[in-house]
Amino acid sequence: MIDSPEGLHDLIEDLRHQQGDTTDCEVKRGRDVELQMLQDRQRQAALDTTMWVRDDVRHVPDSGIDDLDSVYVDTLLRNARNASPFHRDKSDEVLLRNLGVVAKNGLLTVAGAYVLAEYPQRFLPSWSATAAVQLPTGAGSRNRDLQHFEGPLPVMFAEIRDWVGRNMHTTIGYRSDGDAVDESELPSVTVRELIGNALVHRDLSPHSHGKRVEVRLTGDRLTVSNPGGLRGITTAQLGHLGGKHAVNETVYALCQKLTLPDGGRVIEGEGGGIREARERMRAAGLKPLKFHDSGVSFTAVVSRRRLLSDRDLSWLTTAVAGHRLTEEQRVILASMHHGQEWTNRMVRQEFDQIDSREATSLLQDLVSRGLAVVAGERGGARYRLSGTLDLSPDDVLDVAVVSDQSEAAAQPESSQQSAVPNGDEVVALLSDSAAGLTVAELIAASTLTERQVRYALSQLSAVGAVSGRGHRPVRWTVASR
């Protein structure tokens, strides 16, 4: 029975040594899974030994019930009584105490002030948020539509949601009845979920004073950041069964009982929000969500880039007609059409919700359908497009590293850069950093995987668009002309 972080650590080290003593790939893969589970348990055990502080029930000096927004208080009380018979015969005063809005001494709690006060920023200005459209280098201005959001949490949520919608592109879609409707380029469910999470789960401890929720929009992504990291779970657990843990329990409970003037909610409170946000991104054909937890801040990255280009979609329509493929399989096939080979590890890196067993099944299914062929066995297996499908020279050039410098010189620099998958995104990030960026920094600042970043850098370097300097780690910059 392992009942301490130390015991887990010893077992993990034993497994590492065992892995080094065997060459059987199947055994190693099984132990990889077991090792990951043990590491998750070790992190959880360490968290369980840390003293838990309920920051959202601390008392707010110089506050009282008169500071509350009467509209949202009435909504809270009405919904609380409708939801539970226990609350129906309680007075307003008692119910506000039971719900954690007001303390016994009459002062508001942090949760009560942050969620329901008419102007919470009177007590702490950093209980607020900012949003801005960040413009590319050379645009003459750094930001556009910079906004500061204040007021009770539900007001900030609605205003930030509307700000994002206002700055998003819209497309024309069609309902099942044939009527045309305007659709945002990013799924509204995903946007609402991430904004709500940032406001509800932000750090409310004294350590976060001066730090706000920040929303930033660039040409290729939306980022939503909040002070404080995850507690009790890891980014890998988000969206999975049991991957739910409210940092601010009272704030969370209050928001469950609040409705907005338009009838919507800040949070649904069922724990499946991240899973649905991911599904909506997948259904929209957009790149998967990415999450970064530094411990002192948490950032969600929403890509505005589609997984498949119009040309890829056109090719897939004819090439795989009659095959019912998953979205991941379609993306992999389109990449193979451009000359890319795939491995089990690459699939897991590209699609973080897929494990090793699922990755193998996905790739083997393409082989069984005659759409791909495999070379090598087990851990060394590499998959590429079947010869029965059209692999045109023009498509291969999109990802081929140009090694002939005379050929590269004959192409305009912008054309060479744009021909590199993710090349424009990598160059744009490097252009914003005078000191250059490492591979790790590029991954953190983008929606790309390590494989995509390294592949783009190798091709951009080959055509002279970027250059690297230093050693371990190499810092990459835009090549001077």
Boundary-marking domain end, from 368, 395, 422:
395
Model pLDDT, residue 156: 97
Question: Rounded to an integer, what distance in angstroms lies between the CA atom of residue 46 and that of residue 140?
Answer: 49
Question: Rounded to an integer, what distance in angstroms lies between the CA atom of residue 406 and that of residue 395?
Answer: 21
- Clarify whether residues 282 and 338 are in a common domain: no
Q: Please tell me which residue, 397 or 58, carries the higher pLDDT value.
A: 58
CATH number (domain holding residue 415): 1.10.10.10
- Clarify whether residues 165 and 300 are in a common domain: yes
Model pLDDT, residue 409: 38
Q: What is the mean pLDDT of residues 213-240?
A: 87
Q: Which two tokens stand for residue 157?
A: 């949520």
pLDDT > 90 fraction of the chain, expressed in percent and rounded: 39
Model pLDDT, residue 41: 53
Q: What is the mean pLDDT of residues 399-423?
A: 48
Model pLDDT, residue 295: 85
Model pLDDT, residue 261: 80
**Number of domains forming the structure of the chain:** 4
pLDDT greater than 90 at residue 411: no
pLDDT greater than 80 at residue 50: no
Q: Among 181, 152, 175, which residue's Cα sits nearest to residue 68? A: 152
The greatest distance separating any two alpha carbons of the chain, rounded to the nearest whole angstrom, comes to 84
- Clarify whether residues 71 and 41 are in a common domain: no
- Clarify whether residues 124 and 213 are in a common domain: yes
Per-residue pLDDT band for 43 (boundaries 50, 70, 90) equals: low
Amino acid identity for residue 67 in this structure: D
Positive or negative: CA dihedral 452, 453, 456, 462: negative
- Clarify whether residues 423 and 300 are in a common domain: no
Q: Please tell me which residue, 304 or 409, carries the higher pLDDT value.
A: 304
- Clarify whether residues 388 and 446 are in a common domain: no
pLDDT greater than 90 at residue 48: no
Question: Rounded to an integer, what distance in angstroms lies between the CA atom of residue 48 and that of residue 9?
Answer: 15
CATH number (domain holding residue 292): 3.30.565.60
Q: What is the 3-state secondary structure (H, E, C) of 169-230?
A: CEEEEECCCCCEEEEECCCHHHHHHHHHHHHHHCCCCHHHCCCCEEEEECCCEEEEEEECCC
Alpha-carbon Rg for the chain, nearest whole angstrom, is 26
- Clarify whether residues 388 and 426 are in a common domain: no
Boundary-marking domain end, from 395, 428, 450:
395
β-bridge mates for residue 298, sequence order: 226, 293
Model pLDDT for residues 321-331, shown as the tens digit of each residue: 888 898 889 88
DSSP per-residue codes, 15-30: HHHHHHT---HHHHHH
Model pLDDT, residue 272: 79
Chain-wide mean pLDDT for the chain?
80
Q: Give me the half-sphere count of Cα atoms (radius 13 Å) on the Cβ side of residue 130.
A: 13
- Clarify whether residues 186 and 254 are in a common domain: yes
pLDDT greater than 70 at residue 121: yes
pLDDT greater than 60 at residue 19: no
Q: Which helix (H) or strand (E) holds 48?
A: helix 25-48
Question: Rounded to an integer, what distance in angstroms lies between the CA atom of residue 132 and that of residue 236?
Answer: 29
Per-residue pLDDT band for 376 (boundaries 50, 70, 90) equals: confident
Per-residue pLDDT band for 370 (boundaries 50, 70, 90) equals: very high
**Contact (Cβ atoms closer than 8 angstroms) between residue 133 and residue 143:** yes
Q: What is the 3-state secondary structure (H, E, C) of 222-245?
A: EEEEEECCCCCCCHHHCCCCCCCC
Question: Rounded to an integer, what distance in angstroms lies between the CA atom of residue 148 and that of residue 131?
Answer: 7
- Clarify whether residues 243 and 388 are in a common domain: no
Per-residue pLDDT band for 5 (boundaries 50, 70, 90) equals: very low
Model pLDDT for residues 276-291, shown as the tens digit of each residue: 998 888 888 888 889 9
- Clarify whether residues 93 and 148 are in a common domain: yes
Model pLDDT, residue 361: 93
Model pLDDT, residue 410: 39
Query: Which residue segment(s) compose the domain that 367 sits in?
Result: 310-395
pLDDT > 70 fraction of the chain, expressed in percent and rounded: 77
Model pLDDT, residue 38: 57
Model pLDDT for residues 130-187, shown as the tens digit of each residue: 999 988 776 667 888 999 999 999 999 999 999 999 998 876 555 555 555 566 789 9
Model pLDDT for residues 324-369, shown as the tens digit of each residue: 898 889 889 988 888 888 999 898 887 767 888 999 999 999 999 9
Helix (H, G, I), strand (E, B) or coil at 384: strand
Model pLDDT, residue 81: 96
Model pLDDT, residue 403: 31
CB-based burial label for 405 (10 Å; 0-12, 13-18, 19+): exposed
Q: Please tell me which residue, 431 or 24, carries the higher pLDDT value.
A: 431
pLDDT greater than 90 at residue 66: yes
* Cα angle 243-249-255, degrees, rounded to a multiple of 5: 95
Q: Which two tokens stand for residue 336?
A: 């193979």
Q: Report the DSSP pairing between strands 297-303 and 143-149.
A: unpaired
Boundary-marking domain end, from 364, 395, 426:
395
Q: Please tell me which residue, 190 or 474, carries the higher pLDDT value.
A: 190
pLDDT greater than 80 at residue 241: no
- Clarify whether residues 98 and 205 are in a common domain: yes
- Clarify whether residues 409 and 386 are in a common domain: no
Question: Rounded to an integer, what distance in angstroms lies between the CA atom of residue 48 and that of residue 32?
Answer: 24
Q: Please tell me which residue, 380 or 45, carries the higher pLDDT value.
A: 380
Q: What is the mean pLDDT of residues 220-245?
A: 80
DSSP per-residue codes, 333-365: HHHHHTT--B-HHHHHHHSTT--HHHHHHHHHH
Question: Rounded to an integer, what distance in angstroms lies between the CA atom of residue 479 and that of residue 25?
Answer: 42
**Per-residue DSSP letter, 135:** P
